[in-house]
Amino acid sequence: MELDLTDVKGDVVISEGLLQGTDLEARLGNSWGREGRLRLGLANDDSTFHLDIGVRADLGDLPPILKRLLDDKSFQEKMGLLEDLEGDAAGRLVLGETTEAVNVRVDVSKLDLSAKYQRIPYPIV
């Protein structure tokens, strides 16, 4: 995914070809993840992958990240209509269950957003 994570820390155990991480933390720009848990298969035939982490996201940082990660033309077109996106969101990010098919679930518990959307004549708050 080529995410330039900083301030990465946590507890990791590797046993029987499986990496398990707990109390994981990382920062990406002005956003961060905390209290994360990770399972990652290290053997060639093990595609196990599961990440569950609490996040606080700076929404202004989100469009360029989503543009790199999501290869959906319709979604990209809609994102291109957003301007002056600001605010933050908090919740949980869950990725899994295999490296071949990463499902994404985001549970948002707090959202503070403002933006201009070209198809709506008024600011969105």
Indicate if the pLDDT at residue 1 is higher than 80. no
Q: Which amino acid is at 116?
A: K
Indicate if the pLDDT at residue 70 is higher than 90. no
Over residues 13-34, the pLDDT tens digits come to 999 999 999 999 999 989 999 9
The model's pTM is 0.81
Percent of the chain with pLDDT over 70: 99
Q: What number of CA atoms fall less than 13 Å from residue 2's CA on the CB side?
A: 7
